[in-house]
Structure 1
């Protein structure tokens, strides 16, 4: 539907730090539109995601995840946010839903292992690191093996989640991992508004109440404050990744994570480099990774 006000500023990302691959802004905007206009859907086991390589998984008992051969399959898909109730949506996944599905899977006596089926470019800072801590604690408490199978990519917030939750990470040769950094954007509409003949007057109480508003240039001090917040969040991100990968047996220090400078490791050469660095454990097609995990947890490895 076209915007009713031709002078209205276009919708943009919120002026807050995000854990998102910088190249996926258009995808994130599309996801937000899909979320905003989606009809009501039943948040139930019937919505559980089953990826192409494990179709046919049983859902007779209405588990809130895909289930096959003793494996709970939990989708980490699309735009990640702190609250999103629908399970199995390819456009978005909620940290609250991932926590719920993981809790159920680790408590389910029929589940011998958990596979995270990942195709996400990242999302919100809010809620991400609390979920990372919780998923790491769940795996430790239950003792059940958890793998992350990228099909095709796990960037930024998605990578933070799987680095904490999984004991191993596989990525296909055309996929990617990484983008361990923080980003935000500020749009200044003052020039456009002047061109349109519009003027916005901000009336507020509190010196910093209007910090980051889109109707004037970003002051140097506000930019410096935001930069400090981004830097602190990136350090927390690096610490989270290092702790998770160290627990999985990879030798990946905080300094090494920071040294990636939020680079993405994608394509045949860089996915191999990701394994060398310890960001991933194997370069495998998703179907092969899933089959290997099923064989391992069922005791029929070759």
Structure 2
């Protein structure tokens, strides 16, 4: 969570920061949720009852695959869909691959409601979706949010449909650092950091960030923002440029304003999309 780049809507970052605050300060926790799972590959994984976690791609209807992307996004996790409030890139990626390789699937709907998540794994997952979009018709349906890493994944679809109340964008990167040195001093505690290597203890929570380290971290975040903008511009060629993506300054856009900014393609109620997508695909062979 801390000292690592995140592609998150700032409001979501604040929420998670508040949830972790008690742990950082050594205070009692109001409650904690499991933040992700790392284990066997999804094809081999089983739940607590011995049943397979993954049994193939879900279908929205005959010939149309459905990939659900909801909640905070994490890199690894041997589960499909949302679990404990998170969805894993690992799970999304395997579904995208299977949709691409399954000849019985003519098109794919990505149902997205996410404020974003980890940078790690996000671009690889987005490329898997883009490979799927290159091979078959795909449409991202927002119900109602696709922000930051969530938007990166949505942009990899051929088309993005947003409801009038939906929000998308936040093409940027955020990271947070906690400096508890003042609190430690107030409590009469001192932490001595022993290290071998000048940068071994960079971003530790027991001292303020040195200016050179801060400058380096901000530079790296900006590099990631540029990569983010370049990637979504490539996915949405002809509709969104790198310059336009950067010019948003990580802002978010609602409904028709998202369409006008080139971040989405149409405003439509999610419940109407399946029938329209089926009609566009035509009858099954």
**Both structures adopt the same fold (TM-score exceeding 0.5):** yes
The aligned counterpart of 2:275 is 291
The answer to whether structure 1 residue 63 and structure 2 residue 56 are counterparts is yes
The aligned counterpart of 1:152 is 144
Does the CA contact (< 8 Å) of 1:69 and 1:294 recur in 2?
no
TM-score normalised by the chain length of structure 2: 0.85
The CA deviation at 1:284 is 1.1
Q: Paired residue for 1:196, among 167, 184, 187?
A: 187
TM-score normalised by the chain length of structure 1: 0.81
The aligned counterpart of 1:42 is 47
The CA deviation at 1:46 is 7.6
The aligned counterpart of 2:98 is 104
RMSD (Å), alpha carbons: 2.5
**Tell me, which stretches of 5 or more residues in structure 2 are unaligned?**
21-30, 38-44
**Tell me, which stretches of 5 or more residues in structure 1 are unaligned?**
1-12, 49-61
Residues 81-124 of structure 1: per-residue CA shift (max 9 Å, x gap): 11111112151111111110111111122211111010000011
The aligned counterpart of 1:75 is 68
Q: Helix, strand or coil: the match of 1:34? A: coil
- From the superposition, tell whether residues 202 and 208 of structure 1 become closer, same or farther in structure 2 (CA, over 3 Å): same
Q: Distance in 2 between matches of 1:109 and 1:45?
A: 26
Does the CA contact (< 8 Å) of 1:79 and 1:123 recur in 2?
yes
Q: Helix, strand or coil: the match of 1:241? A: helix
Does the CA contact (< 8 Å) of 1:41 and 1:86 recur in 2?
no
Q: Distance in 1 between matches of 2:140 and 2:195?
A: 47
Residues 214-259 of structure 1: per-residue CA shift (max 9 Å, x gap): 110111111000010011000000000100011xxx4311101100
- Bigger fraction of residues in helix: 1
Q: Paired residue for 2:114, among 120, 125, 128?
A: 120
The aligned counterpart of 1:7 is none
Q: Helix, strand or coil: the match of 1:14? A: coil
Q: Helix, strand or coil: the match of 2:182? A: helix
How many matched pairs?
264
